[in-house]
């Protein structure tokens, strides 16, 4: 901690005396919610891995996506004098003030998986390449539907929460792979709802995704025997996919006629839905992301610059981030079993 480090200079007379006061390099982890598998399990895993390396680690979840609580928790970590903050923001546009305070105390800040926008007071971005995740989702749909002039397909689009910059990255990635087919009208969106503002699901909520899919079913008349066939639903993560699947099941779809549904996180629900033949794919993020973030902290604790592998892709509006981007791993029926949890 900062306090004990300055003591170190003063107490030159007795290394032994100092060592009884010295504490380890300390890290504060601020995660957005404890109500989603992904953040809950990854928070504890990151905390454990940091402790294994000998760091002091303090883990906070912002209740269920409570940005004001997250700010209070970060302020508490700043006051406590942590050396590094690892933050997955509830709202990636609302942490500027609190990060200014961290900068003033010379605390290093790592944005974890969610890019924190419009501030220079974040030092590193450690993330799974979220645009690439979107690309994998879009590519999966194209590869499995093979749309062309003689094989026109229909799809609906869901996007993540508008307060999370990742939502846009996922969508941009998917559209890179699909928009050519949409322009040619080989791939249609019957609802015509494809922009972020029409398709966003606040808080990446399963319930809200379920509600929107229910409305689309009613509006377009989708059903297993309907004349308008639904071939795919682009879902950015498993929580949204789960809500969509629930609505489709309610409308009579089964694993025999379920549209191709994408996801991300390899969450319990996502893997269960793949196991039951209801969801086509998901994306696994955890291991490499946690390891590379811990590696960043190790370098910072030694006063070294962490390894980065990208400094041109992710622009947060105030700077192009020094990033370590991990690779998203595609998971489907062929390889999901190794990730199944109880």
Which residues are at the interface with ligand BGC (CB under 6 A)? 36, 38, 113-114, 130, 160, 164, 166, 204, 237, 264-265
Our CB check for ligand BGC shows the closer of 70 and 166 to be 166
The residue nearest ligand BGC at its CB is 237
Distances (CA, A) of 160 to 122, 124, 166, 268: 23, 23, 8, 19
Our CB check for ligand BGC shows the closer of 30 and 301 to be 30
Our CB check for ligand BGC shows the closer of 4 and 205 to be 205
State in angstroms the smallest separation of the CB of 35 from ligand BGC: 10
Both tokens assigned to 20:
């009884």
Contact 141, 178 (CB under 8 A): yes
Contact 262, 141 (CB under 8 A): yes
Our CB check for ligand BGC shows the closer of 23 and 35 to be 35
User: Residue 149 CA to chain centroid, in angstroms?
Assistant: 35
State in angstroms the smallest separation of the CB of 117 from ligand BGC: 12
Our CB check for ligand BGC shows the closer of 170 and 181 to be 170
Alpha-helix residue ranges (DSSP H) falling in the chain? 2-10, 15-21, 37-52, 67-80, 96-104, 130-145, 165-183, 196-199, 206-216, 238-250, 268-275, 286-301
State in angstroms the smallest separation of the CB of 89 from ligand BGC: 9
Instruction: Report d(CA 185, CA 321) in Å as an integer.
Output: 37
Q: Would strands 281-284 and 329-332 be described as parallel, antiparallel, or unpaired?
A: antiparallel
State in angstroms the smallest separation of the CB of 38 from ligand BGC: 6
Our CB check for ligand BGC shows the closer of 99 and 187 to be 99
CB atoms under 10 Å from CB of 79, counted, come to 10
State in angstroms the smallest separation of the CB of 283 from ligand BGC: 8
State in angstroms the smallest separation of the CB of 252 from ligand BGC: 28
C-alpha torsion angle, residues 61, 33, 316, 193 (rounded to 10): -170
State in angstroms the smallest separation of the CB of 243 from ligand BGC: 13
Our CB check for ligand BGC shows the closer of 36 and 83 to be 36
């Amino acid at each position: 901690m900062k306090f004990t480090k300055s003591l170190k200079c003063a107490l030159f007379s007795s290394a032994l005396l100092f060592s009884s006061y010295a504490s380890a390099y300390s890290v504060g982890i601020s995660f957005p919610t404890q109500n989603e598998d992904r953040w809950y399990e990854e928070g504890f895993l990151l905390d454990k891995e940091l402790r294994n390396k000998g760091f002091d680690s303090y883990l906070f979840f912002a209740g269920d996506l409570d940005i004001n609580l997250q700010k209070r928790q970060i302020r508490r970590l700043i006051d406590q004098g942590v050396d590094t903050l690892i933050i997955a923001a509830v709202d990636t546009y609302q942490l500027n003030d609190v990060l200014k305070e961290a900068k003033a105390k010379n605390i290093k800040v790592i944005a974890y998986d969610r890019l924190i926008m419009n501030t220079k007071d974040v030092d590193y971005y450690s993330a799974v390449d979220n645009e690439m995740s979107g690309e994998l989702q879009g590519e999966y749909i194209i590869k499995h539907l093979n749309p062309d002039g003689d094989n026109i397909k229909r799809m609906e689009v869901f996007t993540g929460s508008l307060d999370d910059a990742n939502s846009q990255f996922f969508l941009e990635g998917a559209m890179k792979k699909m928009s050519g087919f949409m322009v040619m009208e080989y791939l249609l969106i019957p609802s015509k709802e494809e922009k972020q503002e029409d398709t966003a699901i606040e808080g990446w909520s399963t319930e809200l995704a379920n509600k929107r899919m229910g409305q689309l079913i009613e509006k377009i008349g989708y059903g297993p025997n309907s004349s308008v066939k639904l071939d795919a639903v682009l879902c950015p993560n498993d929580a949204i996919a789960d809500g969509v699947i629930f609505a489709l099941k309610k409308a009579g779809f089964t694993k025999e006629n379920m549209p191709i549904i994408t996801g991300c996180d390899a969450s319990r629900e996502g893997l269960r839905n793949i196991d039951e033949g209801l969801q086509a794919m998901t994306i696994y993020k955890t291991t490499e992301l946690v390891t590379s973030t811990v590696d960043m902290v190790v370098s910072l604790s030694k006063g070294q610059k962490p390894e980065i592998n990208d400094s041109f892709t992710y622009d947060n509006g105030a700077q192009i981030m020094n990033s370590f981007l991990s690779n998203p791993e595609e998971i489907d029926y062929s390889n999901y079993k190794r990730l199944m949890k109880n």
